[in-house]
Amino acid sequence: MTYIAKRKKGKTIHYYLAETIKEGDGAPKEKILMSLGTIEDIMAARQKPQEPEIPWPDSAQLYEFGLEAALLSLVERLGIIELMDELAPTPKEELSVGSGLVLAAFNEARKQLHKSTERFLAAWSEKSFFANFYQVPVNCLTGQSFWRRTLALEPDKLNEVFDKISQLIFKRYNFVVKKVINKKINVEDLVFEINEPLNKNITRIHLFYYNLSKALTSLLPLELEKLGFKMSVKAALNVLNNVKIIYNLYATDPPQKSGPILANLSPATRAYIEAFDLKKYLNHVLESQAKKD
């Protein structure tokens, strides 16, 4: 049995939480569990505001982050989007040609791990850090929008841009892109949603963003090697792909969410955060979320 006991110390009465136990011979004995202090201590504790309990989230939202942010860091350092945007003007409130091709290349990078075909740009971009970072309107991420812009590109200009990208990569990383690119490809594995028969133009665009993806992912271990980490392209992709942005969701009225936080931060991942300045991109996500709230 648990009860409150009191003891007089000098002129002051102290209170304790106690219980009655039985000794080996069966005789009852009082056991002090904890001191509660004086009556003043007890009243002060009751009046002290209690810290609110931190509720468990009811669910969570996961977004791609580590791999996309690292690839975006490479793209920005090399000025690839601006270079590809020279291929065609960007109408107001539309995704530029360069951004669209980069988005397709990022999806291809993920498929080096999962071997899955994401045929719908808009569906994939709902989980995409890239779309959040550039605040891309959903109507710009349809297959119709993507193909309407890219199929109008001139083949010679597209090849010229890829050559320039290859030169930039060689100049910065001393890496020969020709070692990793393909000249032929299984088109059916790469098609985003499209309502027309496959043709040479479609194959050409697929081959462009597929090879762009291969070139960019080959640079990931080179950046990490500068910090003393050595790993294959596949290992680098795995390390980065496991880093997600997590939002905790609470079924309150109105619904609330907390975050973002980064998950799966291994030592190699922390090195990537330094190598690719990923904190910059996470801060952008925080700023975007603050504006929405």
In a domain, 147, yes or no: yes
- Determine the residue type at 32: I
In a domain, 27, yes or no: yes
Shared-domain flag, residues 39 and 109: no
Shared-domain flag, residues 25 and 84: no
**In Å, how far from its chain's centre is CA 23?**
60
Shared-domain flag, residues 109 and 198: yes
Q: What is the mean pLDDT of the chain?
A: 76
Shared-domain flag, residues 87 and 181: yes
> Which of 187, 214, 241 marks a domain boundary?
214
Q: How far apart are CA 290 and CA 293, in angstroms?
A: 5
Instruction: Give the pLDDT confidence score for residue 29 in this predicted structure.
Output: 82
Shared-domain flag, residues 208 and 85: yes
3-state SS assignment for residue 31: strand
Shared-domain flag, residues 18 and 129: no
pTM for the complete prediction? Answer: 0.69
Which tokens go with 197?
A: 């028969």
Shared-domain flag, residues 132 and 177: yes
Shared-domain flag, residues 128 and 184: yes
> Which of 165, 185, 214 marks a domain boundary?
214
User: Furthest-apart CA pair in the chain: how many Å?
Assistant: 99
Does residue 216 carry a pLDDT above 80? Answer: yes
Instruction: Give the pLDDT confidence score for residue 59 in this predicted structure.
Output: 75
Does residue 187 carry a pLDDT above 60? Answer: no
What is the enclosing helix (H) or strand (E) of 261?
strand 256-262
In a domain, 235, yes or no: no
Cβ-based neighbour number of residue 161 at 10 Å: 22
Alpha helices in the chain (DSSP H): 39-47, 66-78, 80-85, 97-114, 121-125, 129-133, 143-150, 155-173, 200-225, 233-241, 267-276, 278-292
The model's pLDDT over 18-60, given as tens digits with 9 standing for 90+, comes to 888 777 677 788 888 778 888 887 777 777 666 566 667 777 7
Shared-domain flag, residues 32 and 114: no
Q: Are 219 and 173 in contact (CB under 8 A)?
A: yes
In a domain, 255, yes or no: no
Shared-domain flag, residues 197 and 113: yes
In a domain, 107, yes or no: yes
In a domain, 102, yes or no: yes
Cβ-based neighbour number of residue 171 at 10 Å: 10
Q: How far apart are CA 266 and CA 82, in angstroms?
A: 33
Q: Which residue has the higher pLDDT, 265 or 33?
A: 33
| Mean pLDDT of all residues in 246-270 | 70
Q: Which residue has the higher pLDDT, 97 or 217?
A: 217
In a domain, 179, yes or no: yes
CA distances from 85 to 98, 103, 128, 231 (A): 5, 13, 21, 33
> Which of 214, 244, 267 marks a domain boundary?
214
Q: Which residue has the higher pLDDT, 264 or 20?
A: 20
> Which structural domain, as residue segments, surrounds residue 6?
2-47
In a domain, 222, yes or no: no
Does residue 160 carry a pLDDT above 80? Answer: yes
Which tokens go with 271?
A: 């090195």
- Phi, psi values for residue 57, rounded to 5°: -65, 150
Does residue 117 carry a pLDDT above 60? Answer: no
What is the enclosing helix (H) or strand (E) of 62?
strand 59-64
Shared-domain flag, residues 83 and 179: yes
From the number of C-beta atoms within 10 Å of its C-beta (0-12, 13-18, 19+), residue 187 rates as middle
Q: How far apart are CA 32 and CA 186, in angstroms?
A: 77
Instruction: Give the pLDDT confidence score for residue 67 in this predicted structure.
Output: 84
Shared-domain flag, residues 87 and 40: no
Does residue 264 carry a pLDDT above 70? Answer: no
Please count the structural domains in the chain: 2
